[in-house]
Amino acid sequence: MQLSEQELLRRQKCQELRNMGIEPFPAELFPFTHHSQVAKHEFEKWEAQKEENPLKVVLAGRLMSFRIQGSASFAELQDEKGRIQLYFRRDDLCPTEDKSLYNNVFKKLLDIGDIVGVHGHLFRTQLGEITLHVTQFKLLTKALKPLPVVKEAKDDSGNAITYDAFSDAETRYRQRYVDLIVNPHVREVFRKRTRLVNVMRRYLDALGYLEVETPILQPLYGGAAARPFKTHHNTLDMTLYLRIANELYLKRLIVGGYDGVYEFSKDFRNEGMSRFHNPEFTQIELYVAYKDYEWMMDLVEEMVEQIAIELHGQTTVRVGQNDINFARPWKRMTMFEAIQHYTGVDISQMNEEQLRTTAQKLGVETDATMGKGKLIDEIFGLHCEHLLIQPTFITDYPVEMSPLAKKHRSKPGLVERFEAICNGKEICNSFSELNDPIDQRERFESQVELGMRGDEEAMTLDEDFLRALEYGMPPTAGLGIGIDRLSMIMTNSASIQDVLFFPQMRPEKKVHNATVADFKALGVAEMYVPIIQKLGFWTIEDFKKNTANKLHNDLCSMRKKMKLENVPNPTQEEVESWLSHS
């Protein structure tokens, strides 16, 4: 591995610290008393009460910047809750003649990114910033890689300006730890995501529903239209699929007698990736017995409204250019009404041929395999969905698109299903669950037929699920909410990668350069490897193309140029032996 100048330097500093008896990676715990923000609040109280005794605290965190001014210095310490300024003064840290703790350890051997613990008392600088006057500090972890340095300032009106923001998307996603260190708003996004999940959990627990876990490895995948990931179990010698949904398992639990079950489930779909799609994503699915989809709409709008209030203190959330208001009640319209509203065409009474003609007139690309349901869905997708910015329930979907939903109680050809659309995207999907095992079998069979015709996303027939239904599942309302999608809206994130800590990426390319060990195998001492690399020989092949004379010459002159005084020049014979080594 080729180390940069700064990395080499930090390794040297580590050694110097050890030489001074300072362990750069100490084992013992560090008992801090406050987080930065708490300390600041306490200091404000302390000021208000006009206390005499100084307010002493112990903090721990990462050094994010230095402003050194001779025998006094300022630094920024960042901990989980924020930042606080530190003030170091030489003669406080080093009351005796020996000033090396300040002059060497602090000024020379600490770096941006190092993690330290500090003791001291709080005060306010002349410029009014609450600051810790450090009386004692301890290195807790040395950082061997330099961090991106992001600088912040305030403009005249007090708005924060960021300079040199660490913004390269690829590096941010691949090295999320760095992103989290230097971009505080990223830490905040993920806190919001967790709070969002917690609100849901609290809400559903309060209703008495049971949080459960169901298999991720499934012999049959089902519950959604999607292509799965396939894997293999060695002992059982069988194919298993990573779940694409947990619907069929949760409904088995309703058959088993629980009134309400839910699961935050990681699902896996072997499909394209985009800023709305990651191969693994999180959904909450909820099933409640003795309810229907009308009831479920009330639950969704109440629960999501609570999320908005919890995260933003209000029902309105800014997303891109739009202010989205989650206040109940949300608008409700049937799919036919939505299409009529946005296209002016009433398709509710049309047969397949009329629908096809209408779809074509409306600019939908059609083909012969598309049935009534698909045509309606396409029209809706093209002309309605992206226009629905405020949260809206779209109800009553064509039966062909919904093989697990119950037929509508009064509208033939439709099912009791709704989606909530928000910011032009679906955020949830729900229906009165199909519990008639005969009907369910027929729906599965028509899915199997689609599969035979080449639809890779068609569902498979799950005999055990049908057997469960035959024992009787009460009327049940079911719901799925995409946690990632909802998090994007609630955190105003443009890409799903911004709400996943570790979004799926292609592997980083491995440069097949020769390693130190490869050179050692030729008999080359490790100390010569940096020189060889500096000369531009990255592979053994390139290295061996040299003649002994030239290589010896180059090595000696580069050694001099690199000022490696403690590395002796190799002898001509040594160099010859490397090149002749097979």
Instruction: Please give the Cα distance from 219 to 549 (Å, whole number).
Output: 66
Q: How far is the CB of 573 from RNA (least distance, A)?
A: 29
Is the CB of 256 or the CB of 381 nearer to RNA?
381
Q: How far apart are the first and last CA of the chain?
A: 23
Is the CB of 172 or the CB of 289 nearer to RNA?
172
CB-side exposure of 124: number of CA atoms within 13 Å? 12
CA torsion angle for 383, 385, 390, 391 (degrees, to 10)? 140
* C-beta contacts of 464-472 below 8 A and 24+ residues apart: 464/252, 465/222, 465/248, 465/251, 465/252, 465/440, 466/437, 466/440, 466/441, 468/251, 468/252, 468/255, 469/251, 469/255, 469/435, 469/436, 469/437, 469/440, 470/437, 471/255, 472/255, 472/435
Is the CB of 286 or the CB of 496 nearer to RNA?
496
Strand duo 238-242 + 414-422: pairing: unpaired
Using the rule CB under 7 A, give the single segment among 186-194, 344-352, 408-416, 503-511 that binds RNA.
Answer: 503-511
Chain centroid to CA 250: how far? Answer: 26
DSSP 8-state assignment for residue 106? I
Residue 168 interacts with RNA (CB under 7 A)? yes
Contact residue for RNA among 279, 413, 437, 474 (CB under 7 A):
279
Whether the ω angle into residue 329 lies within 30 degrees of 0, i.e. cis, is yes
Residue 147 interacts with RNA (CB under 7 A)? yes
Task: Give the footprint of RNA on residues 399-438 (CB under 7 A).
Answer: 425-426, 429
Amino acid code (one letter) for 219: P
Contact residue for RNA among 18, 41, 45, 151 (CB under 7 A):
151
Is the CB of 237 or the CB of 541 nearer to RNA?
541
Contact residue for RNA among 44, 51, 80, 164 (CB under 7 A):
164
Contact residue for RNA among 44, 51, 80, 91 (CB under 7 A):
91
Contact residue for RNA among 24, 117, 120, 148 (CB under 7 A):
148
Is the CB of 195 or the CB of 277 nearer to RNA?
277
Is the CB of 336 or the CB of 397 nearer to RNA?
397
Task: Give the footprint of RNA on residues 304-323 (CB under 7 A).
Answer: none
Task: Give the footprint of RNA on residues 1-20 (CB under 7 A).
Answer: 2, 4-6, 9
Instruction: Please give the Cα distance from 387 to 390 (Å, whole number).
Output: 9
Contact residue for RNA among 33, 125, 316, 369 (CB under 7 A):
125
The count of chain residues that interact with RNA, using the rule CB under 7 A, is 85
The full 3-state SS of 202-236, as one line of letters, equals HHHHHCCCEECCCCCEECCCCCCCCCCCEEEECCC
Q: How far is the CB of 125 from RNA (least distance, A)?
A: 3
Q: How far is the CB of 305 from RNA (least distance, A)?
A: 20
Task: Give the footprint of RNA on residues 103-122 (CB under 7 A).
Answer: 108, 111-112
Contact residue for RNA among 176, 243, 269, 372 (CB under 7 A):
269
Residue 536 interacts with RNA (CB under 7 A)? yes
| Secondary structure class of 560 (helix, strand, coil) | helix
Give strand pairing partners of 277: 274
Contact residue for RNA among 80, 129, 442, 470 (CB under 7 A):
129
Q: How far is the CB of 228 from RNA (least distance, A)?
A: 11
Task: Give the footprint of RNA on residues 48-87 (CB under 7 A).
Answer: 65-72, 74, 85, 87
Q: How far is the CB of 27 from RNA (least distance, A)?
A: 26
Tell the burial category of 553 from Cβ atoms under 10 Å away from its Cβ (0-12, 13-18, 19+): middle
Instruction: Please give the Cα distance from 438 to 452 (Å, whole number).
Output: 21
Task: Give the footprint of RNA on residues 346-405 (CB under 7 A).
Answer: none
Give strand pairing partners of 72: 69, 89
Residue 221 interacts with RNA (CB under 7 A)? no
Residue 170 interacts with RNA (CB under 7 A)? yes
The full 3-state SS of 293-360, as one line of letters, equals HHHHHHHHHHHHHHHHHHHHCCCEEEECCEEEECCCCCEEEEHHHHHHHHHCCCCCCCCHHHHHHHHH
Contact residue for RNA among 1, 29, 48, 127 (CB under 7 A):
127
Residue 152 interacts with RNA (CB under 7 A)? yes
| Secondary structure class of 495 (helix, strand, coil) | coil
Q: How far is the CB of 226 from RNA (least distance, A)?
A: 5
- The position carrying tokens 């299409």 is 339
With b for 16 or more beta-carbon neighbours within 10 A and e for fewer, the 15-36 pattern comes to eebeeeebebeeeeeeebebbb
Is the CB of 111 or the CB of 305 nearer to RNA?
111
Instruction: Please give the Cα distance from 83 to 87 (Å, whole number).
Output: 13
Q: How far is the CB of 558 from RNA (least distance, A)?
A: 11
Is the CB of 63 or the CB of 289 nearer to RNA?
63
Q: How far is the CB of 410 from RNA (least distance, A)?
A: 26
Residue 451 interacts with RNA (CB under 7 A)? no
Contact residue for RNA among 123, 190, 342, 501 (CB under 7 A):
123
Residue 517 interacts with RNA (CB under 7 A)? no
Residue 272 interacts with RNA (CB under 7 A)? yes
Contact residue for RNA among 19, 53, 96, 126 (CB under 7 A):
126
Task: Give the footprint of RNA on residues 477-496 (CB under 7 A).
Answer: 482, 484-485, 494-496
Q: How far is the CB of 106 from RNA (least distance, A)?
A: 11
Residue 158 interacts with RNA (CB under 7 A)? no
Contact residue for RNA among 31, 95, 128, 158 (CB under 7 A):
128
Instruction: Please give the Cα distance from 361 to 458 (Å, whole number).
Output: 29
Residue 388 CB neighbour total at 10 angstroms: 23
The full 3-state SS of 125-192, as one line of letters, equals CCCCCEEEEEEEEEEEECCCCCCCCCEEEECCCCCEEEECCCCCHHHHHHCHHHHHHHCHHHHHHHHH
Q: How far is the CB of 500 from RNA (least distance, A)?
A: 10
